[in-house]
Amino acid sequence: MSTIELRKVTKRFGSFTAVKDVDLSVAAGEVVCLLGPSGCGKTTTLRVIAGLESVTDGEVVIAGKVMNNLPPEKRDIAMVFQFYALYPSASVGENIAFPLYHDGISRAERTARVNRVAAILHLEHVLDRLPNQISEGEKQRAAMARAIVRDPNCFLFDEPLSRLDVELRQSMRGQIKEVLQGLSKATVIVTHDQLEALTMADRIAIMKDGLIEQVGSPHEVFAKPANAFVASFIGTPQMNLLEADLKTFADGTAEMAVAGINLAIRTDAAVGRLQPGRVTIGVRPRAFTATDTGDRGTISARAELIEPMGAETLIHARTAAGADIRVVVTRSQRVKVGEALNLRPDPRQTHVFDGAGKAVRS
Amino acid sequence: MAESILGKLGFGRASGVDKAGWGRTLGVAIVAFIYFLPVLFIIFTAFKPQGDALLVPPTLSPTSLFGLIPDHFVFKPTLENFGSVFSRSMTPDGAPEATGFDRYFFNSIFIASASVLLALVIGTLAAFGFSRYPLKGNDTYLFIILTTRMLPAIVVIIPVILMFRVVGLSGSYLGIIMLYTAFNLAFTIWMMKSFFDELSPDVEDAARIDGSSGMRVFFKICLPQVIAGLAATFVFGLILTWNEFLFALLLSGPDTRTVPVAMNQAVSSGGRGTDWTLLAAIETLFLVPVFLVTFFLQNHLLRGVTFGTVKR
């Protein structure tokens, strides 16, 4: 079975801990994206799976076998590198054929396989060229072809689309997804681009400072972020995280002071277990309704900057106490700079994070 | 027609940068000519009749260039000097004898190519090791390797002679080849290490993930990427070794003498003064092998020298 499992994997470089106690399992046919800001340890995690870095602690299990001490060439995996890592002195065809030399495959079979993946990835016309004679998109596809030409235990992708322009990135995203769906292998994709993760992954693991903050389906990490970091990292425009002072909670309604404004808002029942004090509330820019008159359920703010985004308009508003709030409204809703807004957060989409940043949810 | 000849000489070659105009090209041509002048003078001297070498003013050209050059600057080219290199009479009235120069040329070619190739093989492997599997104190070792090159040969010659005498290597091919190999190694390791350092580590990682052992990664992936570097290192090493004089003078024997040493002896023996046309003929012949090697490797050479600047 093509599976990957990380058990309490830790990787230290000297005194620096790059990856800390990471547990992750990827089932056959599943695509997991490691998502996080630069330096969060996602690429190191991938390299640990590949065997390019040794683990300091924990176990790397691929296809049911502990592989901690096996060098990369013995792990039977395929990897696509960020900069493609095509062999510069070999033609595209030789590049794709390269992994096949070790499996004792006949020449005819090798040619047949290369031609087959070249056809899937539209590379037939560049097979005789050198890597520096083809376009970025073709390089990406050649790297991909080299990975899928044999039948490895699993696939690893390191920032596979980061070097492509926006248009190419969109079409490649679809192509990669399509190719992977036909292969039923465990796949790990490292990316810092949340759109890439949300569109390609079955599950997303969000990392920060070497730790996995949350693992879940794209829907889960978006709708139920485990903590304030995940909440702010996933979703564009970014979720509004507002410092609040929790006062009382009764009948599913919390009374709190947000940026100097007293607010009564329906929240998750679990909020009732919190002691009054500092919390953070998170509301996505699209979860506000702008109303004509203010009441105890709205935050009043003034529009400071308007950014039309096509179908929608992004408004940067500021409360009297100086807190910035991003609001997205539909194009038809005309708002002018300086206009007063009464913003009502949608109770079902209002997240409360405790003093440590953890989501409070029942 | 004219254009195709110019093209072959490289004048019409398209490149990524703006081509310089005729003015600059002419400027460079003049400087290049000045560089080449001493070599050209030697080559012409080699073809001069014996008495012409010391004429004042000197004769300058084998042809009058359709009357452009006055007659007293023109010499009548002859090949007799080249014959004298290999066979000439050693006493005023003696019959021609073999000079042994065929042997010395063989020695020079054999010793230089053996030691440069040996240094290239060992040095490239060592450089890969220094680049990819650094030791504790890696830079210290690299520094020490280079110390042999920091001193003029004359300074280290005495300990080297003593070492050779103790192990009985003086005058043997093995000895001189080992010595040159050791000297070239310093240079080869430094050169090749910098070429390996330039390679993308991702490419090697990819090859390992694709199932290659360390050896295969080296031979199939790394080596093909540094061919330009190998060529450049080979040529530079060859030129240094080919022209080496002092060690060869003191450590080679009668059978293993190289051309620079033999050249010195040929012109300074016999008490008849220096035979300049003979010397020029030896020098001209001596120039041919290294000239040919460099000429055929020059495309690689240029790519090798500019490696870091144009690669990425």
The string of DSSP codes covering B233-297 is HHHHHHHHHHT--HHHHHHB-TTT--HHHHHHHHHHSSSS---HHHHHHHHHHHHHHHHHHHHHH
CB A167 within 8 A of CB A88: no
Question: Which residue, A55, A199, A37, is CA-closest to A46?
Answer: A55
Scan residues 101-140 of B and list those with Cβ closer than 8 Å to A. none
**Ramachandran angles phi, psi of B199, nearest 5°:** -70, 150
The band of A280, judged by pLDDT with boundaries at 50, 70 and 90, is very high
Q: Is residue B246 part of a domain?
A: yes
Does any CB of chain B come closer than 8 Å to the CB of residue A162? no
Structural domain contains residue B69: yes
Q: Convert chain A into a string of H (helix), E (strand) and C (coil).
A: CCCEEEEEEEEEECCEEEEEEEEEEECCCCEEEEECCCCCCHHHHHHHHHCCCCCCEEEEEECCEECCCCCHHHCCEEEECCCCCCCCCCCHHHHHHHHHHHHCCCHHHHHHHHHHHHHHCCCHHHCCCCHHHCCHHHHHHHHHHHHHCCCCCEEEEECCCCCCCHHHHHHHHHHHHHHHHCCCCEEEEEECCHHHHHHHCCEEEEEECCEEEEEECHHHHHHCCCEHHHHHHCCCCCCEEEEEEEEEEECCEEEEEECCEEEEEECCHHHHHCCCEEEEEEECHHHEEEECCCCCCCEEEEEEEEEECCCEEEEEEEECCCCEEEEEEECCCCCCCCCEEEEEECHHHEEEECCCCEECCC
Q: Say what the pLDDT of residue B3 is.
A: 47
- Whether A103 and chain B come into contact, CB under 8 Å, resolves to yes
Report the candidate in B249, B263, B256, B237 with the shortest Cα–Cα distance to residue B161: B249
Identify the pLDDT of residue B310.
Answer: 40
- Give the model's pLDDT for residue A269: 86
What distances in angstroms separate CA A341 from CA A246, A261, A290, A336, A349, one per listed residue? Answer: 23, 14, 6, 10, 19
Chain B: residue whose CA lies nearest to A98: B210
What is d(CA B170, CA B22) in angstroms, rounded to the nearest whole number? 55
> What percentage of chain A has pLDDT greater than the value 90?
61
- Partners of A52 on chain B (C-beta within 8 Å) are 205, 208-209
The predicted pLDDT at position B309 comes to 43
Which is nearest to A73 in space by CA: B133, B201, B217, B200? Answer: B217
**Measuring CA to CA, which residue among A56, B28, A145 is closest to residue B19?**
B28
Mutate to test the interface with B, among A44, A74, A81 (most CBs of B within 10 A): A81
Question: B226 to chain A: nearest residue by CA?
Answer: A89
Do B125 and B246 share a structural domain? yes
pLDDT of residue B303: 66
Classify residue B3: in a domain, yes or no. Answer: no
End position of a domain, from candidates B45, B78, B111 = B78
Classify residue B37: in a domain, yes or no. yes
Angstroms from A205 CA to nearest CA on chain B: 24
> Which of A73, A89, A90 is nearest residue B211 as measured by Cβ atoms?
A73
HSE-CB for A11 with a 13 A CA cutoff: 26
Give the rounded percent of residues in chain A with a pLDDT score beyond 70: 100
Q: Are residues B150 and B199 in the same domain?
A: yes
Question: Please, what are the domains in chain A?
Answer: 4-233 (3.40.50.300), 240-353 (2.40.50.140)
CA angle A265, A271, A274 (to 5 degrees): 125
Query: pLDDT 10s digit of each residue in chain B, 312 long?
Result: 444 555 555 555 544 456 778 888 899 999 999 999 999 999 998 998 877 777 777 777 787 778 778 877 888 888 888 888 888 777 767 778 788 889 999 999 999 999 999 999 999 999 999 999 988 988 899 998 888 778 887 888 888 889 988 998 888 999 999 999 998 999 999 999 999 999 989 999 999 999 898 889 999 999 999 988 999 899 999 999 999 988 898 888 888 899 999 888 877 765 566 788 888 999 999 999 999 998 888 877 766 555 444 443
| CA end-to-end distance (rounded Å), chain A | 36
pLDDT digits (tens, 9 = 90+) for B241-279: 999 988 898 888 888 899 999 888 877 765 566 788 888
Question: Could you tell me the two tokens for B37?
Answer: 């002048």
Is residue A319 pLDDT above 50, yes or no? yes
Q: With an 8 Å Cβ cutoff, are A87 and B203 in contact?
A: yes
Nearest CA in chain A to B201: A85
Q: Are residues B105 and B240 in the same domain?
A: yes
Region A352-360: what's the mean pLDDT?
A: 91
Q: How far is A337 from chain B (nearest CA, A)?
A: 48
**Residue B208 is nearest to which of A72, A86, A103, comparing CB atoms?**
A72
Contact: A85, B208; criterion CB under 8 Å: no
Q: Which of A331, A325, A330, A320 is nearest to A343 (CA)?
A: A325
* Most B-contacting residue of A70, A80, A87 (CB-CB within 10 A), to test interface: A87
Which of A219-228, A287-296, A320-329 shows the lowest per-residue confidence on average (mean pLDDT)?
A287-296
Same domain assignment for residues B68 and B131 = no
Instruction: State CA A350 to chain mean position distance.
Output: 22
B64: Cα within 13 Å, side-chain hemisphere:
6
Q: Which residues of B touch A160 (CB under 8 A)?
A: none
State pLDDT tens for residues A54-99: 999 999 999 999 999 999 999 999 999 999 999 998 999 999 999 9
Q: Is B175 a domain residue?
A: yes
Task: Provide the 10 A C-beta neighbour count for residue A164.
Answer: 18
Cis amide bond preceding A347, omega within 30? no
B311 part of contact set with chain A, CB < 8 Å: no
Q: Are residues B136 and B173 in the same domain?
A: yes
How many folded domains does chain B comprise?
2
Q: What are phi and psi of A156, to 5 degrees?
A: -125, 135
Nearest residue in A to B200, CA atom: A85
Confirm whether B251 is domain-assigned: yes
Residue from the list A50, A88, A102 with its beta carbon closest to the beta carbon of B211: A102
Q: Is the pLDDT of residue A360 over 70?
A: yes
Residues B41 and B180 reside in one and the same domain:
no
Q: State whether B212 and A73 contact (CB < 8 Å).
A: yes
Cβ-Cβ contacts under 8 Å, A103 against chain B: 211
The answer on B289 and B182 residing in a single domain is yes
- In degrees, rounded to 5, the angle at the alpha carbon of residue A204 between the alpha carbons of residues A198 and A210 is 130
Decide: A88 and A132 in contact? Cβ < 8 Å: yes
Is the same domain home to B207 and B66?
Answer: no
On whether any CB of chain A is under 8 Å from the CB of B168, the answer is no
Please give, rounded to a whole number of angstroms, the shortest distance from the CA of A75 to a CA of chain B: 8
The answer on B112 and B72 residing in a single domain is no
In sequence order, the β-bridge partners of residue A313 are A308, A329
Whether A201 and A32 have beta carbons less than 8 Å apart is answered as yes
Pairing of strands A203-208, A211-216: antiparallel
CATH number assigned to the domain comprising residue B281:
1.10.3720.10
Choose the closest CB to A85 out of B200, B213, B220.
Answer: B200
Does position A245 have pLDDT exceeding 60, yes or no? yes
In angstroms, rounded to a whole number, what is the distance separating the alpha carbons of residues B273 and A145? 74
- Say if residue B124 is in the same domain as residue B266: yes
Residue indicated by tokens 């998502």: A35
pLDDT at B152: 82
Give me the total of CB pairs closer than 8 Å, taking one residue from chain A and one from chain B: 59
- The one-letter amino acid code at A78 reads A
B247 lies in the same domain as B193: yes
Residues B53 and B42: beta-carbon distance below 8 Å: no
Q: Which of residues 21-80 of A touch B (CB under 8 A)?
A: 50-52, 71-73, 75-79
Print the domain residue range for B59.
18-78
**Interface residue of B202, B209, B223 to substitute, partner A, most A CBs within 10 Å:** B209
In terms of pTM, does the model score above 0.90? Answer: no
Say yes or no to pLDDT of A181 above 60.
yes
Q: Are B263 and B251 in contact (CB under 8 A)?
A: no
Same-domain check for residues B185 and B233: yes
Q: What is the predicted ipTM?
A: 0.83
| Residue B304 confidence (pLDDT) | 57
Chain A residues in contact with B221 by the CB 8 A cut-off are 87
Interchain contact, B206 vs A79, CB within 8 Å? yes
Poorest-pLDDT segment among A166-170, A300-304, B147-151? B147-151
Residues with Cβ within 8 Å of residue A224, at least 6 apart in sequence: A216, A359, A361
In chain A, which residues have their Cβ closer than 8 Å to the Cβ of B229? none
Is B96 domain-assigned? no
pLDDT at A50: 94
> Quick one: tokens of A266?
């329906």
Residue B149 belongs to some domain of the structure: yes
pLDDT at A229 over 80: yes
Tokens of residue B235, six digits: 């040529």
Q: Is the CB of residue B61 less than 8 Å away from at least one CB of chain A?
A: no
